[in-house]
Amino acid sequence: MNESDSERYAGQLEELGYTPTEDPELADVILMNTCCVRETAEDKVLGKIGEFKHLKTRNKDLILAVTGCMAQEWQDRLFKRAPHLDLVIGTHNIHKLIDLIKDKEGQKESHMLATEMEDNIFHAVPTKRFQKFFAWVPIMNGCNKFCTYCIVPYVRGREVSRPLEEIIEEIRNLAKEGYKEITLLGQNVNSYGLDFKDGTDFSALLYAIEDIDGIERVRYMTSHPKDMTFTMIDAIAQCKKVVSHIHLPVQSGSTELLKRMNRGYTTEHYEELVSYIREKMPQAVLTTDIIVGFPGETEAMFQETLDLLRRVRYDMAYTFIYSPRTGTPAATMDNQIPQDEKSRRLKRLADVQNEISLAYNVEMEGKDYEVIVEGPTKNDENHWFGRTRGNKMIIWENDGTSAVGDTIRVHVDKGQTWVLKGHVLKREEDCGRRNEVNAHDEAVSGSQGDMCR
């Protein structure tokens, strides 16, 4: 979501005539878009603000701005901490950047604060897309869940859904511009439309997107088990453009601990959702988030999480050691877990999950998958990568036959814990293989269900 916000900031800056530079020494505007989910993120931002102070000393006309979640949380405290800052812009005020920059250009000595929480935060602003074939599309903002460990509701505000017609218009325009894959963004996409109170929900949005020509894949992040319904699972299964990857954060396998987290569901309900997903989408790739060492987590509770992993068998789990976040209820709870114990539990959790992830990926060896080429890997320009519809990353040696954005077929040679290794299929290899269907992660011509109507 921060990347999406940054695209809208960048678009407004270009509208004002600014061009991007990688060299802070050359910049007339430096905008730091921030996160504050963890306090370590805030520490990094404060350090970066300090690094830029010398630039302000040398160039009095330089505009230094802090935006995003940390700006919303700290507000005018940032000016007190760093008087050399010029602008502090909160999460609901992205659309005001052009006016704020113009005002600042004319008022060199003033600090400008824009952090009021507006009811309507979706405004038409210029957007500079950072990628050519993959696009972020915000569908809602804010969160009403108030999980006891999370700062997001306090800095993003209450849930506000974007009108369905606006979302569809943006996606149609993206398709015309050649974008192949979109990702729908929201703190909790499963609650999309509930604030409209007219029957519009996430399922209705997916069905509407299905009819847009040109878009090959629809992803979304992130789901919340409390608001996920069987109807939504049906829509995901039926819409061919919606990918077969479902990220459903569970956080803990202990119902008692889930209650302390204020997650709003039980382990039993969560597993009912998983069972329905497996029934409707046997090929689904299921991933999750898990927190270890939450206050009050006993060894028995942690064991329940390990047991859940073994029952559900996720393709991948994003695992985190709980760290207290100032301003959240969990930070002041009794029975905080010692750091060394949290680290031991994380290691035990990873050992179980890595074994499951490796087994799934080994099963994919010898099969062919359709991927959209994303480009070279971070550390080796000779090896390129793309993702299956189930969001599995495949890496291959670049032979110069494909370009970024191409939709190609790749044969998996080796399954590893985190990635797959393979090679691009030549046309002659491709012949006669169009009807292969992988029972786990949908192969090239496998169907996710009937076309939505």
* Residues flagged as binding site: 143, 147, 150
Cβ distance 370 to 405 under 8 Å?
no
Shortest CA distance to 314 belongs to which of 288, 290, 292? 288
- CA 373 to centroid of chain Cα atoms: 19
Shortest CA distance to 135 belongs to which of 232, 202, 206, 217? 217
Cβ distance 89 to 104 under 8 Å?
no
Instruction: Return the biggest CA–CA distance within the chain.
Output: 70
Known binding-site residues for [4Fe-4S] cluster equal 143, 147, 150
Cβ distance 398 to 376 under 8 Å?
yes
**What Å distances lie between residue 202 and 20, 199, 250, 390, CA to CA?**
36, 10, 20, 20
